[in-house]
Amino acid sequence: MNKSRHLSRQLMTGLLGQGQDSFLPDAWGTGDSDGDLDQVSVLDWRQDLTLLLQQLRDRGYKKVNLVASRFGALQLFDLLATTELPLPLNSVVLWQPYLQSSIFLQQLFRLKIAEQMAVGNKTSQKELEQQLNEGIVEIAGYPISQHLVRSISLLQDISALPAIYRQVPLLWLETSMLPNISPVCEKGMAQLSQCFAAKFQLLQGPAWWNTSELVQSPELIASSIDFLTGVTA
């Protein structure tokens, strides 16, 4: 989120210019919201998302578009697989999505492994998981608990999605310096196409989610706005 809030803001500003309201929840325990990260689980975030949709329905909204970035895609699939949405789902946009919780956790632990290597220590994901049994493990400055990691590992993935979303338009936006779609993306698109009316767009550019400085991605914003406003026109 530290690398993408500015992009989310640009997307929301663009949608507002097209007459669309948008909302960016601040997940409990992750920043300016209440609570601490070591007290939270994915279940808390799922309940908060459901509550937000209920509040939008109560305010008179008739349908919803959902934009999910990185780990947010895993949360989205879990929400759709486990919860009857208070509002009909109109369309979905994915930014650089994770499709498997195991891959996300693997990369999360790699941050700690790299940090330890930088100071001459050696560790492994298995050792870090054992440390979680005894308490909190700090990764990239954030307190990670076994409770949170376990809840992430139990997220429902694409295979659990019901058939009711097969007509829902979905756009996967993948940013890369490579000229062609990767085998991982090809496999992911094959899965998504069984659950949604899915499209894939490869954007050329730097890894906005993983750079030392904030990176602009005007094509990401423009493609998202064009898709969302076209679908809801």
pLDDT of 30:
82
pTM: 0.94
Higher pLDDT: 35 or 116? It is 116
> pLDDT band at residue 231, thresholds of 50, 70 and 90?
low
Beta pairing partners, 169: 197
**Burial call 89-121: b when 16+ CB within 10 Å, e when fewer:** bebbbbbbbbbebeebbeebbeebbeeeeeeee
* H/E element, 31: none
Map 112-169 to HEC letters: HHHHHHHCCCCCCHHHHHHHHHHCCEEECCEEECHHHHHHHHCCCCHHHCCHHHCCCE
Structure tokens at 73: 């895609």
Average pLDDT over every residue of 22-49: 88
Structure tokens at 69: 């970035």
Average pLDDT over every residue of 188-201: 96
Helix axes 71-82, 101-118, angle to 10 degrees: 150
Which domains, and CATH codes, for the chain? Answer: 5-99+157-232 (3.40.50.1820), 101-156 (no CATH)
Measured distance CA(13)–CA(139) in Å, rounded: 33
Average pLDDT over every residue of 206-218: 93
pLDDT of 233:
36
Q: Is the pLDDT assigned to residue 224 strictly greater than 60?
A: yes
Average pLDDT over every residue of 5-31: 92
Q: Is the pLDDT assigned to residue 232 strictly greater than 80?
A: no
Q: Please write the tens of the pLDDT for every residue from 110-141.
A: 999 999 999 999 999 999 999 999 999 999 88
pLDDT of 33:
79
Amino acid at 138: E
Mean per-residue pLDDT of the chain: 93
> pLDDT band at residue 212, thresholds of 50, 70 and 90?
confident
Average pLDDT over every residue of 76-83: 95
Backbone angles phi, psi at 21, to 5 degrees: -80, 150
